[in-house]
């Protein structure tokens, strides 16, 4: 299917009480995709499906696009709705919806098609937010390994997969990587050849004022080049954790995939040239006395602060993994 910039050109806005005018994308496609125009002459892509295929997952929020699920109507049908709100992005919108349609062409069933469509919107959410197309650089791989280690070693032993996925806010641009009722966790990862400092990328990351307790979790990892048998590739780490989550909660596993996509990870990309081996971790409780830059400590008008934190300076604030996991479980810290 070629990418038409304006497949809605021949569709008139609805008359009367109708909400949209729609035309099926292709009779040869197995799923019910429709080009549509609403009463305000805005362009939409609809994926109509049965109520049993509704996922109820969190959907990405764009400034210029609307993504939402419509509940089942009188005829028993539901729909995933993707609406263009800013005509200046028509070309990008056309690429997005064609990518979604093509990605769903080989899905095994309707529910899988809806899940794939949602995952693709999360991928575009990442790209439109400034992410790079394609492979994650080594530093971003290491950062993702750090977050996955927090999920694997700290959160899943104490919480349900659904709770963990709800807490994982880093891929969605949250100020902290994990936000729970009892605490927040900022995840970092450093190579064992560079363990004297860690990079802090904003003044909000180590700001303890907006959470009951804040912990800095620093994973120490060793990286091996292609051909080594040590450690695991990023693909292996992602897959192993997905299998663990899926055994308990398939819906949470779907949410896991969406968040990975939002983080810029694509399972189709080969990451076998680098292998990651965990060599320990450092956990510190971030308090008002912690050596950090926060919004309250910088002059008015200064923002987007980045700095290096010397690990030797945080030794007085280090805590045990048991204390962190006790806090995660909701115990007092």
DSSP symbol at 227: T
Find the DSSP H helices in 285-320.
none
Confidence (pTM): 0.70
pLDDT, one tens digit per residue, over 86-118 is: 887 787 788 888 889 988 988 888 988 998 888
Mean pLDDT score of the chain:
87
* CA–CA distance, 319 with 312 (Å, rounded to integer): 14
Nearest 5°: phi and psi at 164?
-65, -45
Q: What average pLDDT score do residues 195-205 get?
A: 89
- Lowest mean pLDDT segment, chosen from 33-42, 73-82, 299-308: 73-82
pLDDT for residue 287: 94
- Lowest mean pLDDT segment, chosen from 132-136, 225-229, 305-309, 318-322: 132-136
Residue with the bigger pLDDT between 57 and 8: it is: 8
Provide the token pair at 246. 């899926």
Is the pLDDT assigned to residue 80 strictly greater than 50?
yes
pLDDT for residue 242: 96
pLDDT, one tens digit per residue, over 205-244 is: 999 998 999 999 999 999 998 777 889 999 999 999 999 9
pLDDT, one tens digit per residue, over 255-265 is: 898 788 878 88
Percent of the chain with pLDDT over 70: 92
Neighbours of 254 (CB within 10 A): 21
Nearest 5°: phi and psi at 253?
-65, -40
């Amino acid at each position: 299917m070629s990418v038409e910039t304006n497949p809605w050109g021949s569709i008139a806005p609805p008359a009367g009480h109708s909400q949209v005018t729609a035309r099926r994308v292709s009779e040869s496609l197995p799923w019910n995709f429709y080009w549509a125009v609403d009463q305000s002459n805005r362009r939409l892509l609809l994926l109509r499906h049965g109520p049993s295929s509704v996922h109820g997952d969190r959907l990405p929020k764009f400034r210029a696009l609307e993504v939402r699920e419509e509940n089942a109507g009188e005829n028993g049908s539901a729909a995933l709705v993707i609406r263009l709100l800013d005509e200046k992005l028509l070309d990008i919108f056309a690429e997005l919806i064609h990518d979604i349609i093509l990605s769903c062409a080989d899905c095994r069933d309707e529910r899988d098609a809806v899940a794939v469509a949602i995952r693709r919107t999360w991928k575009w959410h990442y790209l439109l937010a400034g992410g790079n197309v394609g492979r994650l650089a080594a530093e971003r791989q290491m950062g993702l390994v750090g977050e996955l280690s927090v999920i694997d070693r700290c959160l899943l032993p104490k919480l349900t997969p659904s709770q963990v996925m709800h807490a994982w806010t880093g891929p969605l641009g949250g100020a902290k990587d994990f936000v729970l009722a009892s605490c927040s966790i900022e995840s970092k990862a450093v190579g064992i050849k560079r363990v004297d400092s860690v990079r802090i990328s904003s003044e909000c990351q180590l700001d303890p004022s907006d959470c009951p307790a804040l912990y800095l979790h620093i994973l120490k990892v060793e990286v091996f080049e292609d051909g080594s048998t040590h450690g695991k590739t990023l693909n292996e780490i992602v897959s192993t954790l997905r299998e663990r989550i899926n055994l308990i909660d398939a819906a949470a596993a779907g949410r896991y995939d969406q968040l990975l996509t939002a983080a810029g990870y694509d399972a189709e990309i080969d990451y076998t040239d680098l292998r990651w081996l965990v060599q320990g971790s450092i956990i510190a409780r971030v308090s008002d006395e912690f050596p950090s830059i926060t919004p309250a400590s910088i002059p008015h008008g200064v923002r987007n602060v980045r700095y290096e934190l010397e690990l030797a300076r945080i030794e007085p604030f280090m805590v045990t993994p048991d204390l962190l996991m006790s806090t995660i479980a909701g115990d007092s810290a």
